[in-house]
Structure 1
């Protein structure tokens, strides 16, 4: 169990470095989209800036940012390019939780290099793990492994044969067969391919209970558990793409100001833009209010209540549905500019892809409503459902 009970705050350094990378990330975004993965200059720059260590516990050389600090960094990187923000949020989460929850000898193997390892994979739709002396034999197929092309290790969920236990397994890439089947509408540069593992041995220390909230190293953020920490990722991503969508539309309208028949002179457009801005800002305010409340609880050494867990899920669901609507408004307002290949079109496609993620799906929203209405007495959150 961690001996650092309070929430650690890293300060503004990584956010400032993320801002410094905006020009590079924007310049490389088109190439990344065409290649189906981030470009080498961007990945190298993210490493050099220390951004892949933003979630890693301090004892392992990471920054161990707080939830609000992580939200700000993911917002900034996503504003520059949604695929870049998505890859960083996914891999830093998996780097951080590996550092917090794996056994000592596994951490020594993974984190001994001159720069942070990259861990990518999928923590849902589990494979099967068969116990064997000192570890497990892992087999399965997983989908949507964002950042896998840049990773050295895979993060995979699997059910332990003969038990009800689900664990996360960290496997070297030589045990992974990448299927390369990422042909999608949006978030193309994330390279979120499917992959398989066939009977690879994983030492026990290179795995951890999916639901653990007791870190072996690092501070209070890791007492949130894997799922609640993942909500930080998607919330920060939504903040970034929502803001960029509206800013791009404002720039598009301003560039056409004074021309007859353009949206810049339309009273209806002005009113619709105001409504979209208000909806996004309100959803963003709910994200920040909710995570501020979480940080206060962690600072006091507490754990989240059922209502707090409801609210972090609801805040994510609300902002995701909000940006999907904002993206539709931006796309429709952009006319033929939206129709052609370009930033507005890419932002629209990326917003639709991000909104399809399971964490923002209808099940969680329905369960949030049930709890808020007082119809889940005595129940608690288990991933995306309330159980009692």
Structure 2
């Protein structure tokens, strides 16, 4: 049997675990952690086989991200975020694929997708300026997907608004070194990027709506189920898998910590039914969140694989379940962490780091339940949502 990325990660878990506290201190992944992830092929799981990737299924991808996050939270987060970018690049123009992967199939690509750039059309492409926040793992990436709004030649946003994803090499944007001073997920190094009046050739530009409606993958001629999966399933999958994995890591650390602990009343935790009940219930909640996320992704995979349409109603229900899974797991650790006593607050203990990182994971836009729940409920009632209710679905 061929060794998987997960197998290779678990073989190096001791070294990978050591990189977590150091990443928190540095404000980015350690070079050693990145070397381990590259050797394992962490970011190549969704990469096309034509460029050295593995084209794994959604379960294998999610489970590998979860396991990595449980060992080293920021590494798992970067795995979940940066790991989806090869999936999107597989649909891009072959020229930019060759630019990125031609010499090094292990080249990492950053983001973010927020349309903070203004792309003005010129001969052969666009000129763009802007500033973007939350570029996870960016110190170790050589390219970036950046969101922009398409403008007319006078610099005004076109109507109807058109969002673009532009692909930019490292030498054409700046990383703002001191822009990631945060309470959680510090080790992800999710810094700001800046571009000033940079030329973007047309072949490095993708329209966001064409990613959503599937026309981008059809134009690329990709028939694999993996690449025909909806954007609204694949992009959130890695982020939620990382968040749940961090919660699994906290649970494991708490179980290890509580094993020989005596509480303030002089009772061994092994003899404390109240704490044991809470820990058992929380463990079940985290396990349930894990399975809900994976089952949802696999059900959508089965629809796509069978050549069936994944309707807006089904995509909205999938996003609802994905968001719920993240919140369920994080709420579960809120029942575990306080029961670990005052010593667990110490900064030299790992529990506080997992707790901070898991809560920070909920702050990502894809974990906002408001419009997602609203759209899912309306769709279930046979009402077609419009406008902002369709965002990221």
What pairs up with 1:28-47 in 2 under 5 angstroms? 28-47=19-38
Correspondences of 1:1-388 after superposition (within 5 Å)? 13-98=4-89, 100-162=90-152, 163=158, 164-180=161-177, 181-211=179-209, 212=211, 213=214, 214-215=216-217, 216=220, 218=222, 219-256=224-261, 260-341=266-347, 342-371=349-378, 373-374=380-381, 376-377=383-384, 382-384=390-392
Matches of 2:228 and 2:88, distance apart in 1: 10
Report deviation, 1:293.
0.7
Per the alignment, do residues 321 and 129 of structure 1 end up closer, same or farther by CA in structure 2, a change over 3 Å counting? same
**Using a 3 Å threshold, how does the CA distance of structure 1 residues 52 and 127 change in structure 2: closer, same or farther?**
same
Closer/same/farther in 2, CA of residues 262 and 185 from structure 1, 3 Å limit: farther
The CA deviation at 1:225 is 4.3
How far apart, in 2, do the equivalents of 1:24 and 1:346 lie? 18
- Does the 8 A contact of 1:119 with 1:153 survive in 2? yes
Q: Given that residues 16 and 36 in structure 2 are in contact (C-alpha distance below 8 angstroms), is that contact kept between their aligned partners in structure 1?
A: no
Secondary structure at the counterpart of residue 309 of structure 2? coil
Deviation at 1:268, TM superposition (A): 1.6
| TM-score of the superposed pair, with normalisation by structure 2 | 0.89
Distance 1:376 1:309, change over 3 A: same
Q: Is the 8 A contact 2:44 2:53 kept in 1?
A: yes
Once residues 287 and 21 of structure 1 are traced to their aligned partners in structure 2, the CA distance between those partners, rounded to angstroms, is 26
Are the structure 2 counterparts of residues 377 and 226 from structure 1 closer, same or farther at C-alpha, using a change threshold of 3 Å?
A: closer
Aligned partners of 1:128 and 1:47: how far apart in 2? 33
* Counterpart Cα distance in 2 of 1:143 and 1:79: 25
Report the Cα offset of residue 140 of structure 1.
0.9
Equivalent-residue separation in structure 2 for 1:79 and 1:11 (angstroms): 24
Q: Any idea what SS the aligned residue of 2:356 has?
A: helix
After superposition, the C-alpha distances for 1:330-372 in whole angstroms (9 at most, x for unaligned) are 2211112221012100000001100111101133443245236
Identify unmatched segments of 5+ residues in structure 1: 1-9
Distance 1:53 1:143, change over 3 A: same
Once the two structures are TM-superposed, the CA of residue 12 in structure 1 deviates from its matched residue by 6.0
Cα distance in 1, alignment partners of residues 351 and 283 from structure 2 = 17
Unaligned runs of 5+ in 2: 153-157
Shift of 1:104: 1.6
Structural RMSD (CA): 2.2
2-structure distance, mates of 1:190, 1:68: 23
Secondary structure at the residue paired with 2:229? Answer: helix
Following the alignment from structure 1 to structure 2, what is the Cα–Cα distance between the partners of residues 119 and 12? Answer: 25
**Conserved? CA contact 2:316–2:372, under 8 Å:** no
The alignment partner of 1:376 has SS state of coil
Number of residue-to-residue matches in the alignment? 375
- The alignment partner of 1:101 has SS state of coil
Deviations 1:123-168 (A, max 9, x none): 1243111111111111111110001111101210101103322111
The answer to whether the 8 Å contact 1:313/1:364 transfers is no
Note the C-alpha offset of 1:101.
2.1
What is the Cα deviation at residue 175 of structure 1?
A: 1.3
